[in-house]
Chain A
Amino acid sequence: MSAAGGGAALDVTTLTAYRCRELLARGDVSATELTRAYLDRIAAVDEQVQAFLRVDESGAMAAAAAVDAKPRSGRQPWEGVPIGLKDIFCVKGVETTCASRILKDYIPPYDATIIAKLRTAGLIFLGKLNMDEFAMGSSTENSAFHTTRNPWDFDRVPGGSSGGSAACVAASEAPWALGTDTGGSIRQPASLCGVVGLRPTYGAVSRYGVIAFASSLDQVGTLTRDVRDAAALLDLIAGRDAMDCTSTGLSEPAGTPGRADLRGLRFGVIEEYMGEACRSGVREVFDAAVDSISALGGVCEVVSLPSVERGVAAYYLIAASEAGSNLARFDGVRYGHRTEHSEDLYEMYVRTRSEGFGPEVKRRIMIGAYALSAGYYDAYYAQAQRARTLIIQDFARAFERFDFLISPTSPTVAFEIGERAADPLAMYLSDLCTVPVSLAALPGISIPAGFSAGLPVGFQIIGPHFSERGLLNVAYALEQSLDVNTVAPLAETAG
């Protein structure tokens, strides 16, 4: 049947954002119909997936109606295409909590730069997606409100922190979604949910209006069904922003990836990630993808980046140090939660923050305060920065020999809800393969490479700074060759 279907229900599970755009452009569906179809899908499945913290039905329908009121010829390319937003982006007038009790009911007075860009481009905001509180976590179990389920197996986590964004795309609750990646928060959930997750080069996308976790690492990126959508969404959000002096934009637009082969390209397989940390099922899918690269004409060789083994330790010190400072503003004075029981200022601070933050956030604030405190700064924060420098140098050396580096995105497939919740260190190791890329400010993408015991396995490709165009073309060629299903068989699983 035609996707428009003249009133018949639109099957959103078949849609990418590109496909949405085509249907809208041809007039096969109206923006209202398309938005309605996604809202219906959310209504049907999100009780189980729990990807959304808040669905903005009235806002989305009003925005869709406004698009439909315009003649098609006067619309912009992506006008009327819905999108899901991680709850870390400030949207003017729309509750934004970062999945934290301390920001419950917080209504930002301004739009994040990327939100303003998407608004201008005419995208429809379906709602705010679940995440680990303040993006601290790898499972969404740290959300103050609820845990999102992996659409491929509801007993398992979707990864995190952008777990809601990854799950919502895998469950076809939105054609695409925005997330943020600090140490792997886009790539790891993309891997666990079987979707495409792109972390751009640090600085490619403005951070203004993105609630900060670790300022020197945070980067906005995309969660999509396929690589072309990732390129399109990146081009919509990238750019230098006068409100973010660390932003630079891309050196060239990502465009529409169309590369068919990988001839003439050299790929370095990061040796440090091939050891026992990499579970067998993951390893087999990875090896098969490496074979596909070779079949496409690419040359794969093992390369050692010894310093990446310091990555997780360095990351957790730097990120926690910056986080402790970034989260200090949540003090109950101007907005957000304030305790109802305090006799003086000091008690107000202590109770407000004790009540407002969850255990993982408190843990990182304390790690950060410790790492920066007098007498410990050199041993921890400064030492971590030195390790970061070594990691940057290792990657730079590797890129002298290789065009791209490859590794599994996550050492494991999706783990069970509760499995690692009590063991922070095991949880931190979920980011083993993604963290060094963040520390080196490099772009990385995770694409679905296959399955292990029915659960998605992601494949990470890492490029030099601002190589997004090439990176996405390579990912596209491999994606076409691997041809992995990205539609979670929700109905069956959900029973």
Chain B
Amino acid sequence: MNAAPTGKSGAAGDGLNDGSREPTVDREAWESVIGLEIHVQLSTQTKMFCGCTVTFGDPPNTHVCPVCLGHPGVLPVCNERAIEYATRIALALDCRIAERTVFHRKNYFYPDLPKAYQISQYDQPLGLGGHLDVELEDGSRFTVGITRAHMEEDAGKLVHAGGASGRIDGADYSLVDFNRGGIPLVEIVTEPDLRTPDQARVFLVQLRSLLQQLGVSDVNMEEGSLRCDANVSIRRPGDPFGTKTELKNMNSFRFLQRGLEAEIERQIDTLEAGETVVQQTVHFDPASGAVSALRSKEEAHDYRYFPEPDLTPIELDAEYVERVRESLPELPAARKERLMEQYSLPAKDAAALAGNKPLGDYFEELAAASGDARTAANWVLGDLSAYLNTSGVEVADCPVKVAPLAELLGLVDDGTLSGKMAKEVFETMASTGKDAKTIVAEEGLGQISDLGELETIVVRIVAANPGPAEEFRQGREKVLGFFVGQVMKETQGQANPQIVNDLLRKQLGASGV
């Protein structure tokens, strides 16, 4: 693995990462147990409990009001859209929706938490007991239990100036941006059903895709609208759970996997050395690949949860839940089945398209516009995806829209362009924004398929080369290549090769009679 930290440090079991390991350790003898806690920022227009606009990247403290700044005397009022979004998430994860759900106060002091309590949910969350079926890249499937999905508000964002740690201790000063404070969150907690860092990553990828399809969040890990904490422990298979540690704020799929790998390695080393794993929060540094413990003082919390008296319990009747359920878009698993059925796509292609909503939508529009689903799938998963991945452009911002691409596919279908030429035209479309026909005309790329035009050229060339023509008639098939080359030369490579072949055979045969 690539995250192996180096250097011996500190006493073992003190939570510091200790990279040195005995070559004799049998890592396969350990099984890891992983559960995730995912925070999803909802893409509502306004915050959870006030009217401030939900934004990202605006100047600090420009979307704040007395309520989200926790001024004396303010009261929260629940955002109905946030409840609807949270219900969507809980339903998509197959959770039971509580008929009556209650907000609690989670009390702790921190400068990014203006009221010194977070309005969250405790023993009566919105959704309980769901699951998500996940498919690995090799097609194997596993199910991850969802313990709960609950609503809460986000905290503000701290910026620490000075100090080496990048944390509040040791900073020269710290600044707080409350634009994020009060943005609605849904926290999804999984059962400890994941067994490998790879499974954890794939689960998160597929959960993200699900959330994206629900249209409830931007699910952007870099911007923090999707955040993931992981609880991990190791054990000998069949043993009870070991002591877990918590990895905080894994802000990319790759870091989640690497962080888990590093932490599992550390735990194995710790136990193999005869020491014990301490329950604590560990921090993964993507730059060094090492894990380190946060100071345990920061986690000695008794949150003193109690029901939020400023908010009335939310009653969600069956009618409401049904209405939300009916409004759910097609979810990835169902879409994959439908894509296979409707377009006769192979499972792998259908899964890839179903797992990425914008790409899947693009495909379906292209299939409709071009009338050739297989070719459309090949293009969307091939050239289009390659372009998007290389350029880092989102599907929505792709310069090649569905209609122009359908037109390009039409040019291949009618023989105007070869497949190879079409790829080049696509590149030009993407870089210039021009449509295919314009590019073909400007660059003189059209494949000559006009029988009359090609026949004239073929007749002329055969007539001009009586020697090779005779050789062909004697049975030297190879000479045909010479003639094809001559025609291509004449047409600057734009002749349809199949038609040229047919015409040459006909002409060479005819002139021999």
Tell me the A residues contacting B by CB distance below 8 Å.
89-90, 96, 98, 103, 106, 108-110, 112, 207-212, 214-216, 242-246, 321-322, 324-325, 328-331, 333-335, 344-345, 349, 369, 372-374, 377, 381
Contacts and interface: CB of A to CB of B under 8 A. Distances in A.
Please give me the 3 A-B residue pairs with the lowest Cβ-Cβ distance, nearest first.
Answer: A328-B116, A215-B309, A372-B304
Contacts of A214: 309
A299 to B, nearest CB: 37
A110 B304 CA distance: 30
Interface in B40-85: 66, 69-78
Given A215-B310, A243-B77, A373-B302, A328 B71 contact: no
Given A246-B310, A373-B304, A106 B109 contact: no
Contact of A109 (B66, B70, B76, B312): B66
A373 B176 CA distance: 29
Nearest to B305: A372
B72 A208 contact: no
Contacts of A215: 309-310
B111 interface: yes
A211 B73 contact: yes
Contact of A335 (B71, B105, B115, B117): B71
B205 interface: no
A109 B71 contact: yes
Interface residues of B, number: 30
Contact of B78 (A112, A210, A243, A245): A245
Given A325-B306, A328-B115, A373-B304, A349 B71 contact: no
Contact of A209 (B74, B109, B169, B302): B74
Contact of A245 (B114, B306, B311): B311
Q: Which label, helix, strand, loop or mixed, suits the secondary structure of the B interface? A: loop
Contacts of A210: 73
Contacts of B74: 208-209
15 contacts: A90-B71, A90-B72, A108-B73, A109-B71, A110-B66, A211-B73, A215-B310, A243-B77, A244-B77, A245-B312, A324-B304, A325-B304, A328-B107, A331-B111, A335-B71
Contacts of A90: 71-73
A208 B75 CA distance: 6
Contacts of B66: 108-110
Contacts of B176: 333
B302 A329 contact: no
A209 B304 contact: no
B5 to A, nearest CB: 29
A209 B73 contact: yes
A306 to B, nearest CB: 26
Interface residues of A, dominant DSSP = loop
Contact of A108 (B71, B115, B117, B311): B71
A134 B176 CA distance: 27
Contacts of A243: 75, 77
B98 interface: no
A246 B115 contact: no
Contacts of A106: 72
Which of B69, B73, B116, B304 has most A Cβ within 10 Å? B73
Contacts of B71: 90, 108-110, 334-335
Given A329-B70, A334-B70, A372 B306 contact: yes
A357 to B, nearest CB: 14
A245 B72 contact: no
> Which residue among B107, B111, B116 has the maximum number of chain A CB atoms within 10 Å of its CB?
B116
A331 B105 CA distance: 17
Contact of B306 (A89, A96, A321): A321
Interface string B97-115: 0000000010101010011
Given A243-B75, A333-B111, A334-B114, 11 more contacts: A208-B73, A212-B310, A244-B77, A245-B310, A245-B312, A321-B306, A328-B109, A329-B70, A329-B114, A333-B114, A377-B304
A334 B112 CA distance: 10
A470 B70 CA distance: 38
Interface string B419-449: 0000000000000000000000000000000
A37 B513 CA distance: 130
A246 B312 contact: yes
Contact of B73 (A212, A245, A322, A372): A212
A328 B117 CA distance: 8
Contacts of A329: 70, 72, 114-116
B294 interface: no
A322 B117 CA distance: 11
A45 B506 CA distance: 123
Contacts of B105: 325
A335 B72 CA distance: 10
B328 interface: no
Contacts of A324: 107, 304
Contacts of B117: 325, 328
A333 B69 CA distance: 11
A417 B81 CA distance: 53
Contacts of B305: 372
B345 interface: no
B309 A216 contact: yes
